[in-house]
Structure 1
């Protein structure tokens, strides 16, 4: 584990940029960026266009370590280059931004009010490659739709079981049990979730470090006590479908919680913008998310 990167994530001021839409969400991400499906005819062309979009964001002067602590990539981006360097090396060496990798393969079908992760075949090989590519940590998402104790326990146990596997490979896992922001019993689900997370944290080995990525809680500062846990490097928040303005406003009410936004970060960016327009829009978004993260 890179101790410089660990210190940066643990104590730095700023937020984590999530640049990791993949698979099924890629056409949607491109469409939001102004590139229609008819612009590409196969997966390779689609991923090349996504990499162009990500490269444009990462190389923008607005994408600066003064505001951004880390960036989450997906496997295809990790294996590609920016200016002749692997993406993770470019992020850290040229930008001072810590690279993470999304490792999950999407969600299983809804059961017990939740969607656990699909199996992740070949995870150890992927983690080995990630370590070789100088990736610091990983991210994996589950989804909680109802305050169902059985389902929530299952989600958290799976997250921490795989989290321990990731730790053994020398990486820091971001545990992400998202609570659906539209859930009718979101607050109740968060209470169950916090208890399950606390139970799992108490069973971790002494030196194990994890991060948590959680929906912005219904109750302000609800996760403050988890932030004090010695195993927890940082707690970051997902935007979960809120608009950028709404996500920022809610985040600002949670002291110590920092953003790890995806859609809310790239909102308003399009392929047709001039570099000046693109950089100005990105700069404003980054500034606003940063302000909400340091409150």
Structure 2
């Protein structure tokens, strides 16, 4: 494990940028960027276009380690280059931004009010490749639609996979996203909080995790996890909230930092001039960094 990256993630200021849209969510991300579906004729062309978008963000003078702690990458992005360097190497060596890899393969159908992760064949090989490329951490997402047995199944699966990731020498980001329109959101959050704490208590002294969570209804609900010695960082996703609301909710939860995707790139368009693009991105980064500083 890279000790400099560990120290940055533990004590650095700023937030984690999520540039990890997968094959299923990439068309929407491109449309929001101003590139319609008829602009590409194959998945390969689609990934070429989204990599151009991500590279434009990563190479922007607004996108630096001053405000960005880490960046979550899709596997396809990890395998590509930015300005002639492997993406993870570019992020750390040029921008001083910690590289993180999305490792899940999407979601299974809803069962008992939750969607667990699909099987991850080849995970061990992917983790080995990530280590070789200089990646520090991983991220995997499940979705919770309410309290109950499904939420417990999500946590059991997340921590089972997390132990494999830790053994590979990486830090897992556990993301059990609670849908913001969940009718029993607060009850689900209470169950999630108790379950996360119980699992964290069972970690060994050398086992570190990060958490990526939906902003809760009760401020500072996760304060004991923020302070937990085995929890390197607690991140908040935007979860469908506008950037303004996501930042406002984040700012009320002390010690948590953002890990935004859509809310980070809100307002960026392919047709913008470099100056316009950099100005919009800089304003977005400044707002999210400020909300992450509480």
Q: TM-score range by the shorter chain?
A: over 0.9
Instruction: Report what 1:185 is aligned to.
Output: 184
Instruction: Report what 2:117 is aligned to.
Output: 117
Instruction: Report what 1:285 is aligned to.
Output: 284
State the shift of 1:225 in Å: 0.6
Instruction: Report what 2:59 is aligned to.
Output: 59
Could you tell me the TM-score, scaled by structure 2's length? 0.99
Instruction: Supply the distance in 2 between the matched residues of 1:207 and 1:67 (Cα, whole angstroms).
Output: 28
Instruction: Report what 2:78 is aligned to.
Output: 78
Instruction: Supply the distance in 1 between the matched residues of 2:155 and 2:226 (Cα, whole angstroms).
Output: 17
Instruction: Supply the distance in 1 between the matched residues of 2:65 and 2:206 (Cα, whole angstroms).
Output: 27
3-state DSSP of counterpart to 2:25: helix
State the shift of 1:228 in Å: 1.5
4+ runs of 1 displaced by more than 4 Å? none
State the shift of 1:64 in Å: 1.4
For these two proteins, the number of residue pairs brought into alignment is 294
State the shift of 1:151 in Å: 1.1
Instruction: Report what 1:205 is aligned to.
Output: 204
State the shift of 1:152 in Å: 1.1
State the shift of 1:229 in Å: 1.1
Gaps in structure 2 of 5+ consecutive residues = none
3-state DSSP of counterpart to 1:195: helix
State the shift of 1:147 in Å: 1.3
Instruction: Supply the distance in 2 between the matched residues of 1:204 and 1:250 (Cα, whole angstroms).
Output: 29
Output one character per residue of 1:179-212: Cα deviation in whole Å (capped at 9) or x when no partner. 1111011110010011111111111122100000
Instruction: Supply the distance in 2 between the matched residues of 1:46 and 1:180 (Cα, whole angstroms).
Output: 28
Instruction: Report what 1:168 is aligned to.
Output: 167
Instruction: Supply the distance in 1 between the matched residues of 2:5 and 2:216 (Cα, whole angstroms).
Output: 27
State the shift of 1:72 in Å: 0.2
Aligned Cα root-mean-square deviation (Å): 0.6
Instruction: Supply the distance in 2 between the matched residues of 1:27 and 1:287 (Cα, whole angstroms).
Output: 27
Instruction: Supply the distance in 1 between the matched residues of 2:138 and 2:124 (Cα, whole angstroms).
Output: 12
Instruction: Report what 1:248 is aligned to.
Output: 247
Gaps in structure 1 of 5+ consecutive residues = none
Instruction: Supply the distance in 2 between the matched residues of 1:24 and 1:181 (Cα, whole angstroms).
Output: 20
Could you tell me the TM-score, scaled by structure 1's length? 0.99
State the shift of 1:264 in Å: 0.1
